[in-house]
Structure 1
């Protein structure tokens, strides 16, 4: 896609994100924190896990940590718009491997939005169910990106539309299974394992197509993740903590992890035309 095509999509994604932000702002203005009272309070709220002050009278208990999730919404909206554009060009022989599988971009974009809304739900309510949704959405985004990596690593496998749908459904089932798995495995183990798996997937695909892939996007994704983890740790440990500041460490975590995940998506998205197809012609196709 050309710059002239991408820029309008970015603008539309920005408008959609701003619209979502306005809706959130109206909800925060109109509703009060009492709406969350029937729900079980999360352990995170009980131990005051994050630096930001818990405004329990407000609908958004943690405003900065809630609104910052709009970063995920923006990236998700943009990827969904890209997927829609890919679908309209489905007959174009010049599409690369990811562009020929728009449903996979829909999956990734949807998981971005799911995380944006799910994490906002948690930081707005500080409830146990909100925390469960937040973590499942986090795992969902990582799993969707890992599925993109697997799809590109096994580039000799060509999926028809029916098999593409089955692929997406399988990933959705795995994400749903992680809802059940999460309480049994601590996120301190599960999330790093998924991050490592995604990073390995990018590195393997880089080795496969190093002339067409950008190592800088891999490095950017990894670096942003490490910086985000460091800032989140400082926020939890209350280092340089100002509970009433608009700028919160966990809010920065949202922005940096969103950027990191978007870099991972771009690693597979920004590639020469049909590089997998060229390699495939020399190795044979698996239908």
Structure 2
């Protein structure tokens, strides 16, 4: 059966869950066996110096901020899920009824790897609270935004039939942009750059929806931005230390990780799945 069934998608979810449980076990062992001394000598981030987030900084532990570190596994979960979808699309790329993103599995693969990159990068930052970790964390965040914008722009050019060579060049171009954002992020504040990227993605999703509204899910389109809106509000409250308990199991920034992971996946799923499919 060429079309992805709900049963197969549930299987992919299960596999992603198992991989995530494995990562939880690995991270828990590292946090038990290693101490905070491993980060000594590395430049402390501005975020740590200004106590940007509510969670208490346990400098003696390998994970300085446990909840803000473990919560990054939400990105890992969706990354593994998307990589499975990419692999499935690659195996079925000769299917003539695939939609535009299904016919470009490399783009889905890039999206999946960016999720995992952010998961590891943000975990590195919250575990160490170092300047290097903060740079990798932000670049991981931009990598997901850039990949989603690349997917949106690819769909905006739906009248152009991309050759396999063009698709590879598209991926290389996105990778170059992601790398270029390492210095760019130092020149432009994320408080200005990220909202612009989110608005551009919103515009691309709106255009694509109105062009193909019979095939695309309005719920996924809206859900991606509703979740992002809620995430931003919760992150703002966390930074402002409103209802803040540094030692609580609940941490607003950890919820931000969960909601932004879900939001980004919803935006990806809007392009990847069509109403005409069983899923």
TM-score normalized by the length of structure 2:
0.96
Judge conservation of contact 1:98–1:105 (CA < 8 Å) in 2. yes
* 2:180 paired residue among 177, 191, 213: 177
* 1:55 paired residue among 54, 58, 81: 58
Trace 1:107-256 onto structure 2 (pairs within 5 A).
Answer: 107-256=110-259
* 1:87 paired residue among 83, 86, 90: 90
Between the two proteins, the alignment pairs up a number of residues equal to 274
Question: In the TM superposition, what whole-angstrom CA distance separates every residue of 1:200-237 from its partner, at most 9, and x where no partner exists?
Answer: 11001011111111122121111111110110010011
* 2:45 paired residue among 42, 45, 49: 42
**DSSP 3-state at the match of 2:55:** coil
Displacement of 1:146: 0.6
**DSSP 3-state at the match of 1:100:** coil
Query: Considering only aligned residues, what root-mean-square deviation do their CA atoms show, in Å?
Result: 1.1
How far apart, in 2, do the equivalents of 1:114 and 1:191 lie?
Answer: 18
Question: In the TM superposition, what whole-angstrom CA distance separates every residue of 1:111-153 from its partner, at most 9, and x where no partner exists?
Answer: 1111111000000000000000000100010000010001111
Q: Where does the alignment leave 5 or more consecutive residues of structure 1 unmatched?
A: 275-287
* 2:8 paired residue among 5, 9, 18: 5
* 1:73 paired residue among 72, 76, 79: 76
Question: In the TM superposition, what whole-angstrom CA distance separates every residue of 1:233-281 from its partner, at most 9, and x where no partner exists?
Answer: 100111111101111000000000011101100110111569xxxxxxx
Runs of 4+ in 1 over 3 A off after TM superposition: none
Judge conservation of contact 2:215–2:276 (CA < 8 Å) in 1. no
How far apart, in 2, do the equivalents of 1:94 and 1:207 lie?
Answer: 21
Between 52-61 and 217-226, the greater mean CA deviation after superposition: 217-226
Displacement of 1:31: 0.6
How far apart, in 2, do the equivalents of 1:107 and 1:242 lie?
Answer: 37
How far apart, in 2, do the equivalents of 1:98 and 1:85 lie?
Answer: 12
Displacement of 1:161: 1.6
Displacement of 1:94: 2.0
Pair 1:213–1:191, CA change in 2 (3 A)? same
Q: Where does the alignment leave 5 or more consecutive residues of structure 2 unmatched?
A: none
**DSSP 3-state at the match of 1:50:** coil
Between 83-92 and 226-235, the greater mean CA deviation after superposition: 83-92
**DSSP 3-state at the match of 2:54:** coil
Judge conservation of contact 2:20–2:73 (CA < 8 Å) in 1. yes
Judge conservation of contact 1:152–1:205 (CA < 8 Å) in 2. yes
How far apart, in 1, do the equivalents of 2:105 and 2:155 lie?
Answer: 14
